[in-house]
Amino acid sequence: MKAPAAAAYQQKVDTLCKLIGYSFNDATLLQLALTHRSCGNRNNERLEFLGDSIVNFVIAHALFEKFPKAREGQLSRLRAGLVKGVTLAQVAIEMQVGPCLKLGAGELKSGGQRRESILADATEAIIGAIYQDAGMQVCEERILALFAPRLENLSLTDTQKDPKTRLQEYLQAKKADLPMYDLVDVQGQDHEQVFTIQCHTQLLDKPTQAKASSRRIAEQKSATLALQQLGQEAV
């Protein structure tokens, strides 16, 4: 990397550190956390694995303390909403992670700096890197700071079930057949596939259709569309 480019990149990393609220003692940990597997064998996957476990624990403990009367199922659904890919990607955007990511040429060309899954993985990797650099206390403080607005705005009314479950329960209450999900198309290479799912329900004339980077997410999206058409969810 040439000097001007290196200086510009370092400025972006410095901004990232300010937004995280943490300066690394070992800067190589942060660089590793920002390195996608498309760059080679030395990448952020191990730190992502570590960060995933830590963020789940810290958020679980925060919810346990915040909602002393909540049931296990409610706590689990609240945690799932906070640590899901889309939320982690939003945290990455707030930290301005995208411009700091190190991607292979193919990922860079295809917009990997904006891809939800890559941003979410990077958030977890950064959390893992903070833990490795400073230990659990500092890591927990940073996680709680990054998630503070979301934690503060949570209530037990946010524990509604996922769209597929809600659709199934609604159809059962109407004594209709259970929904069926068909995989109608898969496009792209292994690491960047797009799945197209159709959701068939007895109460709708036509199936709802959705696309996503995983089959599970596409099914949930198609279920949401079905609930909207059935008047059970806001559009």
Length of the chain: 235
Whether residues 140 and 178 share a domain: the answer is no
Are 141 and 167 members of one domain? no
**Could you tell me if 122 and 34 are in contact, meaning their C-beta atoms sit under 8 angstroms apart?**
yes
Q: What mean pLDDT is predicted for residues 77-90?
A: 90
Is there a domain that residue 235 lies in? Answer: no
pTM of model > 0.75: no
Q: Which residues are catalytic?
A: 52, 124
pLDDT tens digits along 22-55: 999 999 999 999 999 999 999 999 999 999 999 9
Measured CA distances, 51 to 88, 123, 138, 169 (Å): 11, 8, 13, 35
Token digits of residue 184: 């109608």
pLDDT (mean) for 161-176: 87
- Whether residues 139 and 183 share a domain: the answer is no
- 72: containing domain: 3-158
Query: Which amino acid is located at 118 in the chain?
Result: I
